[in-house]
A and B are shown apart, each in its own frame.
Chain A
Amino acid sequence: MGTLRFEGKFVEVHDGDTIASALFRHGIRTFNRSLKSHRRRGLYCGTGDCANCLVTVDGLPGERACVTPARDGADVIRETGWPSTERDALAINDKLHWAMPVGFYYKMFVRPRWLWELAEQVIRRATGTGTLPVSARAEPKRTRYVRVDVLVIGGGVAGLAAASTAEGRVLLADEGMIAAGVSDTGTRVAIDRLAAQARAAGVEILERHTATGIYAGLSVPLVGPQEMVEVECRRVVVATGALEAHGVFSGNDLPGVWLARGAARMAAIHGVAPGERAVVVANTTQGAACAQTLREAGVDVVEVTGRVLEARGSKQVSSVSVLTPEGRRAYSCDALVLSLGWAPRDSLLRMSPDADVFGAGDVLWPGCGLQDAETSGRAAARGERLEPRLGDPWPILEEDGYVCVCEDVRVHDLEAAWDEGWTSSEILKRYTTATMGPCQGALCSRHLAAFTESKGAVPNAQGRTTARPPVRAPRLEDLIGGIHEVIERRTALHDLHVAADARMDHSGVWMRPGHYGDVDEEIRAVRERVSIMDVSTLGKFLVGGRDARALLDWTLPLEVGAIEPGRTRYLLALDEAGYVMDDGLLAALGDGTYYLTSTSGGADRMEASLRDWADRLELHVHLVNQTAQLGAINVAGPNARDLLAELSHDDLSRTAIPYPGHADITVAGVPCRAIAVGFVGELSYELHHPRGRSGDLWTALLEAGRTWDIRPHGLDALDVLRLEKGHFFLAQDTMPDDHPAKLGLDWAVTMRKPAFVGKMALERMAGLPLARKLVGLRFDGTPQRGAPLTVDGAIVGRVTSCARSAAVGHPIGLGWIRTVDGEFPAALRAGGPTASVVATPFYDPSGVKPRG
Chain B
Amino acid sequence: MSLLVACPTCGERPFTEFTFGGELRDVSSPDSASDFARVYLRDNLAGVQRERWFHLLGCRRWVTLARDTATDRFVEG
Q: Do chains A and B make direct contact within the complex (CB under 8 angstroms)? A: yes
Contact call A612/B72, Cβ cutoff below 8 A? no
Please measure, in the bound complex, the distance between the C-alpha atom of A213 and the C-alpha atom of B38, giving whole angstroms.
39
**Complex CA–CA separation, A617 to B61 (angstroms):** 14
Known contacts A611-B62, A760-B39: A221-B1 contact under CB 8 Å: yes
Instruction: Tell me which residues across on chain B come within 8 A of A608, comparing CB atoms.
Output: 19, 21, 54, 56, 62
**How close is A294's CB to chain B, nearest CB, in angstroms?**
44
Chain A residues, Cβ within 8 Å of B40: 577
B-side contacts of A576, CB under 8 Å? 38-39
CA of A221 to CA of B14, assembled, Å: 14
Known contacts A608-B19, A625-B60, A761-B39; A219 and B2 CB within 8 A of each other:
yes
CB-CB under 8 A from B60, the residues of chain A are 607, 611, 625
- Shortest Cβ distance from B67 into chain A, in angstroms? 12
Closest to A760 in B: B35
Do A219 and B1 touch (CB < 8 A)?
Answer: yes
Q: Size class of B's contact patch?
A: 20 to 34
Q: In the complex the two chains form, is A217's CB within 8 Å of B3's CB?
A: yes
Q: B residues 12-36 with Cβ under 8 Å of A?
A: 14, 19, 21, 27, 32, 35-36
Interface size classification for chain A: 20 to 34
Q: How far, in whole Å, are A761 and B38 apart by their CA atoms in the complex?
A: 11
Asked if residues B32 and A760 are in contact (CB atoms below 8 Å), the reply is yes
Task: List residues of chain A with CB within 8 A of the CB of B27.
Answer: 616-617
* A615 close to B (CB within 8 Å): yes
B22 to chain A, nearest CB (A): 10
Assess whether A499 is interfacial by the CB under 8 Å rule. Answer: no
Q: Among A213, A216, A221, A604, find the residue whose CB has the most chain B CB atoms closer than 10 A.
A: A216
Across the interface, A217 reaches (CB within 8 A) one of B2, B36, B56, B62, namely B2
Q: Report B-chain residues with C-beta under 8 Å of the C-beta of A217.
A: 1-4, 14
- In the bound complex, CA of A215 to CA of B72 (Å): 12
* Pairwise interchain contact B2-A611, C-beta atoms closer than 8 A: no
In whole Å, how far is B77's beta carbon from the nearest beta carbon of chain A?
Answer: 18
Closest Cβ neighbor of A217 among chain B residues: B2
Task: List B contacts of A611 (CB < 8 A).
Answer: 54, 60-62
Cα–Cα, bound, A52→B52 (Å): 49
Within 8 A of B (CB), among A599-632: 604, 607-608, 611-612, 615-617, 625
Residue of B nearest to A623 (CB): B60
Per-residue interface assignment for chain B, residues 32 to 69, with 1 indicating a CB less than 8 Å from any chain A CB and 0 otherwise: 10011011100000000000101010001110000000
The CA of A213 and the CA of B21, in the complex, are separated in Å by 28
Instruction: Render A338-363 as a binary contact track against B, CB cut-off 8 A, 1 for contact.
Output: 00000000000000000000000000
Provide the bound-state CA to CA distance between A612 and B60, in Å.
Answer: 10
Q: State which of B1, B2, B62 has its C-beta within 8 Å of the C-beta of A612.
A: B62
Whether B4 contacts A615 by the Cβ 8 Å rule is: no
**CA A608 – CA B20 in complex, angstroms?**
11
B39 contact set on A, CB distance < 8 A: 576-577, 760-761
Return the chain A residue nearest B3 by Cβ.
A216
Given that A611-B60, A612-B62, A615-B62 are contacting pairs, would A760 and B3 also be in contact in the complex, using a CB cutoff of 8 Å?
no
Q: Which of A197-245 contact B (CB under 8 A)?
A: 213, 215-217, 219, 221, 230, 232
B36: nearest residue on chain A (CB-CB)? Answer: A760
Question: Nearest Cβ distance between residue B23 and chain A, in whole angstroms?
Answer: 12
CB-based nearest A residue for B4 = A217
Interfacial residues of chain A within 59-106, with CB under 8 A of chain B in the complex? none
B70 CB → nearest A CB, Å: 12
Contacts A216-B72, A217-B3 given; does A612 touch B38 at CB 8 Å: no
A-B contact pairs, 19 of them (CB 8 A): A213-B1, A215-B1, A216-B4, A216-B72, A217-B14, A221-B1, A232-B2, A576-B38, A577-B40, A604-B19, A604-B56, A608-B54, A611-B61, A612-B21, A612-B52, A615-B61, A625-B60, A760-B35, A760-B36
Known: A217-B2, A760-B32. 13 other contacts (CB 8 A): A213-B1, A216-B3, A216-B4, A230-B1, A576-B38, A604-B56, A611-B60, A611-B61, A611-B62, A612-B52, A615-B61, A625-B60, A761-B39
Ordered nearest first, which 9 A-B pairs have the shortest CB separation?
Answer: A215-B1, A217-B2, A576-B39, A216-B3, A616-B27, A608-B54, A615-B62, A219-B1, A760-B35
